[in-house]
Amino acid sequence: MEISEDDPKTLREHPFREAVLAELHARPFLPLDAPRRIYHYAFATDHEAAAADREAVGALALAHGVLAPDPGARFHYFIFGDWRLRWEQHSEFTTYSWSTGVGADIPFAHADPFKAGEISFTPPGVLIVATQLCVVDGARSAEELASYFNSQSLCVVGVEDRDAQVLTDFAVDAYGFTRMLIRGKALPRFEAGRLAQRVLEIETYRTMALLGLPLARQVSPQLANMERELSGITEALNEAHDMRVNYLLLKRLSDLLASSQALSTRTAFRFDASRAYRALVKNRLSQLQERREGQYVTISDFLNARLDPAIETCIAVEARQTRFSAQVERATDLMRTGITLEMERQNSALLEEMNRRTRLQMRLNRIVQGITIAGLAYFLTGLFSFIAKGLKAAGALPPQVSADLVAALAMPIAVLIAMAFMARVHRLSREAAEEERLD
C-alpha cells in the first residue's frame, strides 16, 4: 500500500538528504592485486570541459560495450579487458586512473601507455597531474627498489603496522610522470587499493595546492608597482594645497583602489583553494600513518619543507593585498576628509563674503530710502508751491501770506506723506515675501 504524502505519519525528507548520504559512498576504495601498474591523470576542468568530459566518457564506454556513468554520477569504475579505469570528477579537476596487471612485474618498464597505444581516450581540459604508480610484492627489498628514484629527493615510509612501504621522489621522469611505488608483503587487496588511492590523492592535492604559487609570483610585481604608486600619491598629498591637484590625486586613488579590488578578486579563489588542498594533503598524510624507514626522508618531512613555504607565500601575498587595499581606503578617506574641510572653509569664506555684501547692500538700501524720501518730499513741496502760487494769483490767500511761505509750511507735510508712502511699500514687500515662503 502506498503512503500518501499528505499522511501525517509520513516524514518529509530534506531535498539534499539523498545526495548527502550518497556522497559518503561516492568514491569507494577498490581492491588491488599486486603486481599492478597504475597511470593516474588529473585534468583541470571548468564547467564546459567537465560537460565535454562526461560526453567523452560516455562515448568511451559505448566504444567498449560497457555501461556509461549515470548523468549525475561523479565516479565510475570501468573494466576494459585487461585494463581497469577509475574515473572521478571533482570541483575543478577530473581524474583518470588506468591500471593493469599485464607487464607489471618490472616496475616502470612501460613508460607511457597512452603514447604506446595501450590505452586510448580523449582527455578533458588540460593536464595537471600525471603519475605512474607501481604496486609490487615484497620479494624485492626497498633498497633495491630505491634505484628507480632520484636519491637526492627519495622518500621512503612504512605504512601503519603492515609490512608495506611507499617510495617516491616527486620528480618528473623523461616521459612526464612522477613516480610512486608501493611495496607490500601479503598486503590484502582492499588494503592495497586504499593505500594506492591515498598516495595518488596526496600527489593530486599537492599539485593542486601548488597552483597558487605561480599566481602569487605573477601578481607580486604588480602589487609592488601599486604600492610604489600609493607611496607617491601620499607624498604628493602632503604637499598639495590646490583643490584641482587634490581632485586629481583622489581620482588616482580611486583607480588604484579599483585595480586592487580586481587583483584581489583574481587571486582570492586560487589562494583559498591552495589552503584547502594543503589541508587535504595533511589529512591524507595523517591517514597514511607514516613510519620512518632508516635514513630516508618521510613524505611529510619532504612536503613540509617544500609545500608549506609555497602555501605560506600565497598567504603572505594575500595578506599583502588585504593590507594594501586597507591603506588605499584610508588614504582615500583622508583625502576626502581634506577636500571636505577645504570645501567647508571655502563655503564659510563665501558665506562671510555674502554676509558682508548683504550688510553693505542694506546700508545702501537705507541711503537710497533716505534719498527717495527726500526726493519725494521735494517733489511734493514743489507741487504745493505751484498750488500756493495759483491761490495767491487768484486772491485766495491773505495779502500778508506769500506763496513761498505756504510752500515752506507744507514741507513737513510732504515729508510725512513720503515717509508714509515708503512705509506702505515696505509692508507690501514683507507680505509678498511671506506669501512666497508659504507657497
Q: What is the pLDDT along the chain (439 residues), one digit of tens a residue?
A: 444 555 566 777 777 766 665 555 556 678 888 899 999 999 999 888 888 998 899 999 998 889 888 888 888 999 998 999 999 999 899 999 999 999 899 999 988 898 888 888 888 889 999 999 999 988 888 888 999 999 888 999 998 666 789 999 999 998 999 999 999 887 888 888 999 999 999 999 999 999 999 999 999 999 999 999 888 888 877 775 666 777 788 888 888 888 888 999 899 999 999 999 999 999 999 988 898 888 899 999 999 998 999 999 999 999 999 998 888 888 888 777 766 767 777 788 888 888 888 888 877 777 777 777 777 777 777 777 777 777 767 776 777 767 677 777 777 887 788 778 777 777 777 777 777 766 5
Cα(413)–Cα(381) distance, integer angstroms? 9
Distance CA 131, CA 120 (A): 17
Residues in the chain: 439
Q: How many angstroms separate the CA atoms of 196 and 185, rounded?
A: 15
- pTM beyond cutoff 0.85: no
pLDDT on residue 235: 81
Check residue 1 and give its pLDDT.
Answer: 42
CB within 8 A of 184, min separation 6: which ones? 34, 135, 136, 137, 138, 162, 163, 164, 165, 191, 192, 195
Cell 585494463 found at: 83
pLDDT at 268: 92
Of 287, 282, 293, 302, nearest in space to 158 by CA:
293
pLDDT of residue 22: 57
Compute, in degrees rounded to 10, the torsion defined by CA atoms 350, 351, 357, 363.
Answer: -170
Q: Order of strands across the sheet with 164-172?
A: 75-80, 83-89, 93-100, 36-44, 126-137, 178-184, 164-172, 155-159, 290-292
**Which residue pairs from 328-334 have beta carbons closer than 8 angstroms and sit at least 24 positions apart in sequence?**
328/230, 328/253, 328/256, 328/257, 328/260, 329/257, 331/230, 331/233, 331/234, 331/237, 331/253, 332/250, 332/253, 332/254, 332/257, 334/237
Taking each helix axis as running N to C, give the angle between helix 299-393 and helix 243-288, from 0 to 180 degrees, rounded to the nearest 10: 160
Round to whole Å and give the CA distance between 376 and 385: 14
Q: What is the pLDDT of residue 3?
A: 44
CA dihedral 409, 410, 416, 421 (to 10 degrees): -170
The confidence score (pLDDT) of residue 333 equals 80
Neighbours of 103 (CB within 10 A): 13
